[in-house]
């Protein structure tokens, strides 16, 4: 069975409470359940992690290949725009990576328009709320199957 590492970045633990006009009412638990249901249909295993700490995210990425993951689905959240460390870890990990965002970062504040992650990701899906994750998982599974 293929294993996918799902990483939720900083403040995503506040989904459903934080800026619902931007991020919606969906909680992180509900989002994770949606992902688990999709994964079960595809017969893949998910390891889902959320962290507000950059170093922990870098460590998760760095261990992903040794832990037999086939790919990474990541919402780096605010680290999208600031973390060279996460970008470098993703570039070095040797796995397909799909970057996802609940909101359309290009329709928001100008400081959010640049992603340091997109250039090292296989693709980016954004602006579709929870569906960004579902679409991102489907895209990642397509990448893995093609490899």
Task: For strands 123-126 and 44-50, give the pairing.
Answer: unpaired
What does the alpha-carbon distance between residue 96 and residue 69 come to, in Å, rounded to a whole number?
10
Q: What is the DSSP letter of 94?
A: -
What does the alpha-carbon distance between residue 13 and residue 57 come to, in Å, rounded to a whole number?
14
Catalytic center residues: 23, 101
Which residues in 15-24 are b (16+ Cβ under 10 Å) and which e? beeeeeeebe
């Amino acid at each position: 069975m293929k294993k996918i590492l799902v990483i939720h970045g900083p403040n995503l633990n506040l989904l459903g409470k934080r800026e619902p006009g931007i991020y919606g009412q969906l909680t992180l638990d509900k989002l994770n359940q949606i992902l688990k249901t999709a994964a079960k249909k595809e017969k893949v295993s998910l390891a889902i992690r959320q962290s507000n700490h950059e170093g922990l995210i870098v460590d998760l990425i760095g261990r992903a290949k040794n832990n037999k993951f086939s790919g990474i689905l990541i919402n780096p959240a605010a680290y999208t725009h600031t973390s060279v460390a996460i970008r470098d870890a993703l570039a070095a990990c040797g796995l397909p990576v799909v970057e996802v965002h609940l909101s359309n970062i290009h329709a928001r504040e100008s400081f959010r328009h640049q992603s340091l992650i997109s250039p090292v990701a296989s693709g980016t899906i954004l602006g579709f709320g929870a569906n960004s994750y579902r679409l991102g998982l489907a895209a990642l599974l397509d990448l893995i199957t093609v490899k």
